[in-house]
Amino acid sequence: MPTSVTARARINLALVKYWGKRDARLNLPAAGSLSVTLSGLGTTSTVSFNSRLTEDRLFVNGEVVRDHRLERASRFLDIFREKARCRERAEIVSFNDVPEGVGLATSASAFASIGLAAALALDIGDDREELAKLVRLGSGSASRSLFSGFVEVSPGIRADGEDYSVRTIASPDHLAMAILVVVVSSARKRVGSREGMEHTRLTSPYYGAWLQEVERDLALARKAVLEKDFSNLGRIAQRQAFRLHGAALAAEPPLLYFSDVTIRAIEVVRDLASRGVECYVTLDAGPSLFVLCRIGEEEEVTRALARIEGVERVVAERPGHAAEVL
Ligand code: PMV
């Protein structure tokens, strides 16, 4: 009989970003990161283990997937199978609310939802600290989506990664702010985060400086969250994004994740800020962006962003809750 569990996880936005590993095999980050889990957009996944299956199967948004994503998902399930001493193959059925591959961290909500569902289907239990260590192996940012509100990752120093940890430092309602997700599509083939950060580490002369600044910004961002200081948190989040992209641009060959639409959106945010509408922009490894602003001003900011040619949609979010079983 199949054992089936459905879980949902939302995407998370890194305010202090993860870009570089201290151990590629264990997928251990070189530095800490700090994120906010969003309230809406994410992935719902059903994982069903079944002794009658001869291989793993993956369906994303109703379509069967047979490319590298199946291989990656299958290796991810192996981690849970090994832990549970189970050999059964599984079927994963995932639905994403946002497009993949445009810099919206769908891998975080995908791996968090699949990991949580697999752990419960195999009776591994729901200890989030322990699950974070397993989910991290699928995608480094995914472990943060297991937690609610403002979430900090500590990379640890042990070679076996056992002191890696993730925890909520403040609940979703601790600091009121709006997070606008600006969806920009791109036909361009881009370099995924996993490869991109390794390429930056190996070839960018700015990688060392980037890591040093992350350590500093992490302490400042934590303080800003705890003090409910939106302005400082926004400033740190914005410079974090530009520093990450600065290090990536200095790699050889350079990594450019921005599109023309990204640049136009950055200009609109600057223009709003210069007119006294406090908002900050941040982005990950793709052309889409996130804009932080105060509640009450989100409609004005959304209108300005939605007018930009090439912006597909703008979704207003708030800090939100941890991955959950449905
Ligand atoms: O989790 P990964 O391997 O997809 O890497 C995430 C990298 C960034 O999204 C650019 C930054 C972050 O901390 O989420």
Question: DSSP letters of 134-158?
Answer: HHTTT-TTGGGGGS-SEEEEE--S-
In whole angstroms, give the CA distance from residue 38 to residue 262: 21
pLDDT confidence of residue 106: 87
pLDDT confidence of residue 101: 74
Mean pLDDT per 10-residue interval, the chain, length 326 residues? 88 98 97 98 97 97 96 98 97 91 86 98 97 97 98 98 98 98 81 95 98 97 98 98 98 97 98 98 96 98 98 97 98
User: What's the 22 CA to ligand 1 centre distance in angstroms?
Assistant: 14
In whole angstroms, give the CA distance from residue 52 to residue 89: 8
User: What's the 277 CA to ligand 1 centre distance in angstroms?
Assistant: 28
How many CA within 13 A on the CB side of residue 250? Answer: 15
- Atom nearest to 107 CA in ligand 1: 4
User: What's the 2 CA to ligand 1 centre distance in angstroms?
Assistant: 33
pLDDT confidence of residue 1: 53
User: What's the 326 CA to ligand 1 centre distance in angstroms?
Assistant: 26
Report the 10 Å Cβ neighbour count for 177: 18
pLDDT confidence of residue 9: 98
Ramachandran sector of residue 181 (left: φ over 0; alpha: ψ -120 to 50; beta: rest):
beta
What one-character-per-residue DSSP string does 174-203 give? SS--EEEEEEE---S----HHHHHHHHHHH
In whole angstroms, give the CA distance from residue 262 to residue 245: 13
Which residue from 13, 17, 28 has its CB within 8 A of the most atoms of ligand 1, so it is best to mutate?
A: 17
Which residue from 135, 257, 284, 290 has its CB within 8 A of the most atoms of ligand 1, so it is best to mutate?
A: 284
pLDDT confidence of residue 188: 63
User: What's the 176 CA to ligand 1 centre distance in angstroms?
Assistant: 24
User: What's the 292 CA to ligand 1 centre distance in angstroms?
Assistant: 18
Nearest CA to ligand 1 atom 9: 284
Nearest CA to ligand 1 atom 6: 141
Asked whether the beta carbons of 11 and 105 are under 8 A apart, the reply is yes
Any residues with Cβ below 6 Å from ligand 1, and which?
Answer: 14, 17-19, 33, 105, 107, 139-141, 193-194, 284-285
Kind of pairing between the strands at 279-282 and 33-50: unpaired
pTM > 0.75: yes or no: yes
The number of residues in the chain equals 326
User: What's the 276 CA to ligand 1 centre distance in angstroms?
Assistant: 31
pLDDT confidence of residue 116: 98
pLDDT tens digits for range 172-204: 999 999 999 999 987 666 899 999 999 999 999
Q: Show the beta-strand stretches assigned E in the chain.
A: 3-16, 21-23, 28-29, 33-50, 57-60, 63-65, 89-96, 150-154, 165-170, 178-184, 279-282, 289-293, 311-317, 324-325
User: What's the 60 CA to ligand 1 centre distance in angstroms?
Assistant: 21
Which residue from 11, 98, 193, 245 has its CB within 8 A of the most atoms of ligand 1, so it is best to mutate?
A: 193
Nearest CA to ligand 1 atom 5: 193
